[in-house]
Amino acid sequence: MSIKPIRKAVLPAAGLGTRFLPATKASPKEMLPLVDKPLIQYVVEEAVACGITDIIIVTGRGKRAIEDHFDVAFELEVLLRDKGKDDILKEVRAISDMANFSYVRQPEALGLGHAVNCARNLVGDEPFAVLLADDIIHHVPTALEQMMAVYRETGSSVIGLQQVPLAEVIKYGVILPETISAGLHRVVDMVEKPRPADAPSNLSVIGRYILQPAIFDCLDRISAGAGGELQLTDALKRLLKTHQIHGLELVGDRYDAGSKIGFLKATVALALDSPELGPEFRSYLKGLDI
């Protein structure tokens, strides 16, 4: 079996971001700045570092800032050049040079499954990655890199997992695992947002996926599930009937940057780790009377 390389990544960014209102009333959640870059740039960089060349962003109303961010900022570049600010010019230019960006609209926020299906024509008949910008996983090797290693071995779809406290499974898709080796599981079944008593495990799906294109036929066949949304988990459950899916427990601290508290925690962690800001920020935090 020849294993096709993963060249494309789908970044769903059409959600309403209700947990982060009012900040997300007129600005996309995916553009919230984490230290000095918008959330979505972190996942673009994660994808590109894995050899992905084509970034497909699923957008909706009020998300224009995302397209502008990854476009060439001609006037800004001229201004920076005139002022001799070459370092920052290089950094700004690099953002639009990172990959081939394309955009597709999700007309209505009908759920993550629906958002991924909107990218069908741009993905075509090849395996692809899905990365959610609000799941920040801070680690080297990155989450997607860890999963790519499993994909290269198995050629199957791979989903990113982390163990969560049982009381919190209701926020996630959860798998029934058949464990292969430490941290690596064959997915036997899946359920979206189970009550703790009904959860098949505490292994929860987080925002990284490598998917076979057969997922699109499954997405066509699902109906509204948990929360009245078209759920990617329900399509994955269908995919299991014909295809293997592996689940990999991801190594790294994971932050739900789509929630206010998760975003604050991610900001502190990444700022402390920043070569530029870390030392000053650390001594500032140490000096706080808390």
Note the residues at the interface with ligand UTP (CB under 6 A): 12-20, 29, 58, 106, 109-112, 114-115, 132-134, 258
| Cβ proximity to ligand UTP, 110 vs 268, nearer residue | 110
Q: Name the minimum Å distance from CB 258 to ligand UTP.
A: 4
Q: Is 121 exposed, middle or buried (0-12, 13-18, 19+ CB in 10 A)?
A: exposed
Residue number, 154 or 229, with CB nearest to ligand UTP: 229
Q: How far is the CB of 235 from ligand UTP (least distance, A)?
A: 14
Residue 136 vs 158, nearer CB to ligand UTP? 136
Whole-number minimum distance, CB 276 to ligand UTP, in Å? Answer: 27
Considering the complex, what minimum distance in angstroms separates the CB of residue 28 from ligand UTP? 8
Q: Which one, 151 or 263, has the nearer CB to ligand UTP?
A: 263
Three-state SS at 269: helix
SS3 label, residue 280: helix
**Could you tell me the smallest distance in angstroms from the CB atom of residue 50 to ligand UTP?**
19
Of 197, 208, 99, 110, the residue nearest 150 (C-alpha) = 208
Write out the E strands in the chain: 8-12, 33-34, 37-38, 54-59, 100-105, 128-131, 135-138, 157-163, 173-181, 184-192, 203-211, 245-249, 253-256
In the complex, the smallest distance separating the C-beta of residue 7 from ligand UTP, rounded to whole angstroms, is 21
d(CA 165, CA 67): 37
Residue (18 or 102) nearer to ligand UTP, CB? 18
Are 236 and 210 a contacting pair, CB within 8 Å? no
Which CB atom, from 158 or from 232, has the smaller least distance to ligand UTP?
232
Give the number of other CB atoms < 10 A from CB of residue 230. Answer: 19
> Residue 109 or residue 272: which is nearer to ligand UTP going by CB?
109
Q: Which residue is nearest to ligand UTP (CB)?
A: 15
Question: String of b and e for 77-99 (b: at least 16 CB within 10 Å)?
Answer: eeebeeeeeeeebeeeeebeebb
Output the CA–CA distances (angstroms, integers) from residue 224 to 121, 232, 233, 241, in the order listed.
22, 10, 11, 19
Reference 178, options 252, 245, 251; nearest CA is 245
Q: How far is the CB of 111 from ligand UTP (least distance, A)?
A: 5
